[in-house]
Amino acid sequence: MSERLTFVHAADLHLDAPFRRVDAAEPRVRDACVESTFAAFERIVEVCIERDAAFLVIAGDAYNTAERSFRAQSRFRAGARRLAEAGIRVFLAGGNHDPASAGPVALDMPDNVHYFASGTVERVAFPSEKDPVCVLYGRSFGRARETANLAREFRAAPADPFAIGVLHANVGGNQQYEPYAPCSLDDLLAAGMDYWALGHIHQHQELAAEPPIVYPGSPQGLDPNEAGEHGCVVVTVGSSGATTEFVETGQVAWDRRSVHLADAVTLDDVLAALRASCENARGAADGRPVLLRVDLVGRSEAHAPLARGATFAELVAEVRAEQLAIAPWVWLDRVRDLTKPALDLDRVRAGADFAADLVRIADELTADEAATLLDDVLDPVRSAARDVDLDFDATALLERARDLCLDRLLAGEEGR
Amino acid sequence: MMRLTRIEAARFGRLHDATLGPLGDGLTVVLGPNEAGKTTFTALVRYLLYGFPTEKSVSERPYLSEAGTRAGRLVFESAEGEWIMERTAGPKGGPSNVRALRGPERPGLIDEITSGVSEQAFKVVFGFGLAEMAAIEHLRGTDDDIIARLYAAGAGLRVSPQEVRSAIESDAEELYKPRGSKPLVNTLLAGARDLRSKISALEHDGQALAADRARLTQLAADLERARIERDETAALSRTLLEEARVLADLEQTVGDTEEQLVTLRREVRDASAALGAVTVDDSALERSADITSLSEELSAFRQRLESVAELEGKVAALAAESEGYLAEAGLSAESATAVDASPETRAGVERWRDRLLIAEQRAAAAADERAVASEEFRAASRPDDAAGSGTRDLAASLKIVAWAAVASGVVLAALGAFLSQWLVFAAGIVLAVFAGALALGARRALVPGRADRSKQEELERRADQATLAAKRTTQDLIAARSEWAEWLAARGLADVSEPAAVVRVLELVTDARRRDNERAQAAERLARESGAVAAYIAQVTAVAGALGIPAPTGPREADATVVRLRERLATARTSAEAATRAQERAGAAASAVADAEARQASAAARAQEIIERLEVAGGLAELSAIVERAETAAAEAQERWGALKSEHASLETLVGEREREDTMGALRLDLVSVNERISGHAERYAVLSLASRLLQRAQERYERERQPEVVREAERIFSMITGGAYERLSVPLGASAIEVFDASARAKDTGRLSTGTAEQLYLALRLALIGQLGETGAALPVLMDDVLANFDPERKAGAAAAVAELARTRQVVVFTCHPETAEVLREAAPEIATISLDRC
């Protein structure tokens, strides 16, 4: 084709989906998190308008049908209306979070919104069948747990000026995501598409360059494991093929850092290190607010004062309040004190006293025994908190328990 | 080594100024009957060291004194000196004071002595009676767990593992208790349940919202139907109302028109009467155009009269001027008429003047030349006048003829040219050329052979030529003047000959003619104006005659007549207008009557049509009733629509707000946050719990593999007291009971031991512990209040031996009311000091 065409490819909006694994106790932080998926979608709408896109492709999971959020649908409809006013169409394929089996959305969508069929691969010529500039092939999930290889059903026609495949799928069996609509790269290449607009993986990935096979990633990271850039892809199609440009849309950044306190002696040293970590996170977020997780690590002289009474909690509260007052804010979602006492463990282990016995007992526990011991300890909590993630690394916790004992035993009265 | 030497009770319980002492360095037995104050002295030592309990204390016996404020003293002695420590009951245990009786002051003596030994530990280990014997076991798990302290001492730790474990478990319990409600995790779990409940309610609300949306859709349809009904009923109501209004209007129109007709008909009559009263001057009106025309032309007529007088003067003046010019030219009016004074004539005069002047000049010049030539020839021919005269005469004659012919040709040519007769001109030229050639030939014949002859001939020839030329020019002049005269005569100018005079005559004739022309023009205009004046007067005369007005006798009278005519016409017009107005009024009234009658008929017909169409035979009254019913129906429809609209709007607003609200999102995130906090605290709880388990395992191993020295010492002492009946002790850390093993290795916990055996075990534990304390509490005396009372003689002897053994390293004071006990102790420790107390 010779005519220039620009479209925007997004996926996994998860509008109104709750964040996971975050302690957003502060109302301001909570509100920002709640609003972030909507704001990210609105940024995509702005990108479409700014780039004079012909259409927006959303490759699944526009919103979580399970939540049945009218607000999500309402906000999506508002964005679609803005696009309609700009003459921009919207093509959606349902994913595992918004499959056809969940029923249609409750709110009427404007005419520029098109949902791909779920029973078969649907072909839509753009802008019209009579004079197409490109052809979109899309298929929505019929049910959430779609295990069939849907990619094999896609086949571009030789006469298509430019063929775009739209699908929510797990390509290559990514273990970090549910294995829905599994397929291989070869399956996608065999379809003869000129561009594959994929969804499901929340990190931006370009699986192939010719033709482009792209996961745009989610526009907003939803949990601590979704740090990094999140956005959409602007695709420009010209006579020489398609070129892609990733555009950041995330509204709240996730970050996770380890602060080494080997050189820290006093609590002031710990405060300084924690503040520096916050500043580094703020600097890396490019003007966005940050949800930051910090682990204080290392064998440190500061371990003892940190472990004393409520010191650690007070220290974290101080930095948390302080960082929240700076714009853009950094929210210390979680700070763990994983520091170790500044003692020679081998020397303790070699002794013949109570501490040596304790270290050896910890050493002697196998991973399974540690897990069993942990289960024994935690099962009452688990039974009371079934929807809380209480899967911890038993070995790591055992080490922390051992160090805690040594702290208290060897620190004497100060440790009490 | 610091030793307590004396206990003084100033005011304490039953004791009043009582002193116990001096006490021995090793074992002292205080023997006294019941109520002698043994237990009181034991308590006094503790209170003096750690402070008095309040007077209302229930946990400690206050030992109030009837003598006044409780007070007492302890006297300590060492190699360095002697000090007295005093305390009086008061707030916070009461003030204390240390004075040196001998040696240096030691104000911190109390702290030195009690360092490392809490009051509870003193009560249990150092100053105890039968009541406190079991406390060593019962206090386990508390901060004053004596056995834990034994382990700590034996394990080389500054704190006991049990204390650490207790603290850790306490921390863990602050985080979570399986059936608790206050720990953090429990609180958070309750919060999470609350949040889930709210979310569930909101989800229920979401379902309700879906139902509301369905209801909203239904309402929209109902609203549309209600709107249609409302519009239809309203439209019907409006239509009927309009029909009623039209019918009312029509009936009103019929009535009103009837009233109008009466008025209009009266108007017709009045107008007709007014018309009859008006007389119109028709003759003047018929001549109105003429009169108007005469009036309009009156001003022109007046100007024209002035113009006639002016033109008459002008004609006379111009005639006089013309006659003057002709008289100057000497011409009569008739002769002047014949003169051609055209521009061509004037140009011809000019040409003639030039021609005559040239002819005259040529004739004069030729005459002069002939005179000169004749003179020169006469001068030259005088010497040889006769030679060759014959030939020359012939030649000369020929030559003369030839030259004459030349001259004739030239004249002919000139005449042809003058008259524009080109054939004559050509003949003249040919003649001149031929004659010229002939003359030249004759001249050759006349040429003498000699030079002088030639010259003479030449001069002769010149004279001849000059003569000929003079003759010819003269003739030319005569001919010209003759022609000039003819030319003038042909133009009526015979009486003048000089061109200049001719020119003047022509100018005068021209001026006279111009004046004649002007006069003729003026006369013509005069005639026209006079005619017009006459015509106007004739018109005036005619119109006046038609109207019976006398004819004007002259122009001035005509002017007055026209003024009269104009006034009469004005009067006639006024009358006519009045008549017209009356007529129009009558016509309009008649037309209005007709219109009103038609309107009335139309209104009646339309009213009838409405009555028939709406089938309201009762007319407007019936129709009004129908309208009223329709309006009621429309109002009801409007009300129904309004109610639906209001419900729809409210529901739409509600649904919109609920769609926009973010409570659900916030609650979900709150739940995530709470869960995350639960996770964090649970992780901490897990660490603490694992730490507790590790400590427990370490304690078990330590207990199993590294029984502390102090426990082994207790084991030895217990075996010694029991005479080997019990060989081994197990003091598991954290367990609730102490176990003993008999010679058959059978385990018994303290609950299964006899009172005496259990007390022996507790005593053994105390003795072993104190023995292991080293410098801790080294200056504190061990005060035993009849603790051997329940021992049988054999075990009492064993116990006495164990006490005596301790007394070798520590100061021990044994209170007893049993002489045999004192005796057994004395046997075990011969150096024993004995103090007897009397009953208080």
Mean pLDDT computed over A220-248: 94
Q: Where are the domains of chain B?
A: 336-494
Contact B675 A385 (CB under 8 A): yes
Write out the H or E segment, with its range, that includes residue A82: helix A70-85
Contact B664 A384 (CB under 8 A): no
One domain for residues A289 and A214: no
One domain for residues A120 and A183: yes
One domain for residues A242 and A298: no
Which A residues 163-202 touch B at CB under 8 Å? none
Q: B707 pLDDT band (50/70/90 cuts)? A: low
Q: A167 pLDDT band (50/70/90 cuts)? A: very high
Nearest-Cα distance to chain B for A43, in Å, is 19
Residue of B nearest to A357 (CA): B698
- Report helix, strand or coil for B262: helix
Specify whether the CB–CB gap between B178 and B184 falls below 8 A.
no
Pick the range with the lowest mean pLDDT from A13-27, B34-48, B73-87, B381-395: B381-395
Contact A388 B682 (CB under 8 A): yes
**Chain A residues in contact with B695 (beta carbon < 8 A):** 358, 405
What is residue B138's predicted lDDT score, i.e. its pLDDT?
Answer: 67
A333 touches B: beta carbon within 8 Å: yes
What is residue A414's predicted lDDT score, i.e. its pLDDT?
Answer: 36
**Chain A residues in contact with B678 (beta carbon < 8 A):** 381, 385, 388
If one counts the domains in chain A, the total is 2
One domain for residues A264 and A231: no
One domain for residues A9 and A42: yes
Among A373, A378, A412, beta carbon nearest to B158: A412
What is residue B157's predicted lDDT score, i.e. its pLDDT?
Answer: 62
Side-chain-side CA neighbours of residue B473 (13 Å): 21
CA distances from B510 to B323, B348, B698 (A): 12, 16, 171
Q: Percentage helix, strand, coil, to 5, in chain B?
A: 70, 10, 20
Q: A416 pLDDT band (50/70/90 cuts)? A: very low
**Chain A residues in contact with B161 (beta carbon < 8 A):** 354, 409
Among A35, A361, A374, beta carbon nearest to B697: A361
Residue of B nearest to A369 (CA): B690
Contact A388 B157 (CB under 8 A): no
One domain for residues A232 and A264: no
Residue of B nearest to A22 (CA): B673
- Residue of higher predicted confidence among B477 and A202: A202
Domain that holds residue A267: 253-415
Classify residue B419 as exposed, middle or buried by CB count within 10 Å of its CB (0-12, 13-18, 19+): exposed
One domain for residues A286 and A216: no
A367 touches B: beta carbon within 8 Å: no
CA distance B662 to A347: 57
- pLDDT digits 0-9 by tens, B113-155: 887 677 877 887 888 887 777 776 666 656 556 666 655 655 5
Among B659, B698, B705, beta carbon nearest to A74: B659
What is residue B444's predicted lDDT score, i.e. its pLDDT?
Answer: 67
The residue among A165, A134, A159 whose CA lies nearest residue A4 is A134
CATH of the domain at A155: 3.60.21.10
**Chain B residues in contact with A23 (beta carbon < 8 A):** 672-673, 676-677, 680
A331 touches B: beta carbon within 8 Å: no
Which A residues 49-78 touch B at CB under 8 Å? 67-71, 73-74
ipTM confidence? 0.88
Contact A71 B185 (CB under 8 A): no
One domain for residues A258 and A180: no
To test the contact with chain B by mutation, choose from A70, A303, A349, A399 the residue with the greatest count of B C-beta atoms within 10 A, namely A70
One domain for residues A330 and A345: yes
CA-based angle B253:B259:B265, to the nearest 5?
120
Contact B675 A384 (CB under 8 A): no
Q: B37 pLDDT band (50/70/90 cuts)? A: confident
**Average predicted confidence (pLDDT) for chain B:** 85
Query: Chain-centre distance of CA B736, in angstroms?
Result: 81
Residue A177 gets which letter from DSSP? Answer: S
CA distances from A194 to A58, A136, A210, B274, B627 (A): 17, 10, 8, 106, 73
What φ, ψ does residue B229 adopt, rounded to 5°? -60, -45
Q: Percentage helix, strand, coil, to 5, in chain A?
A: 35, 25, 40
One domain for residues A237 and A303: no
What is residue B346's predicted lDDT score, i.e. its pLDDT?
Answer: 86
**Average predicted confidence (pLDDT) for chain A:** 91
Among A69, A354, A390, beta carbon nearest to B702: A354
- Report helix, strand or coil for A103: coil
Among B159, B677, B679, beta carbon nearest to A413: B159
One domain for residues A75 and A94: yes
Residue of B nearest to A23 (CA): B673
Task: State the first-to-last Cα distance of chain A, in angstroms, to the nearest integer.
Answer: 77
Among B665, B679, B687, beta carbon nearest to A34: B665
Cβ-based contacts under 8 A for chains A and B: 186
Specify whether the CB–CB gap between B189 and A385 falls below 8 A.
yes
Specify whether the CB–CB gap between B615 and B304 falls below 8 A.
no
To test the contact with chain B by mutation, choose from A29, A332, A408, A410 the residue with the greatest count of B C-beta atoms within 10 A, namely A408
Contact A71 B659 (CB under 8 A): yes
What is residue A401's predicted lDDT score, i.e. its pLDDT?
Answer: 93
One domain for residues A27 and A144: yes
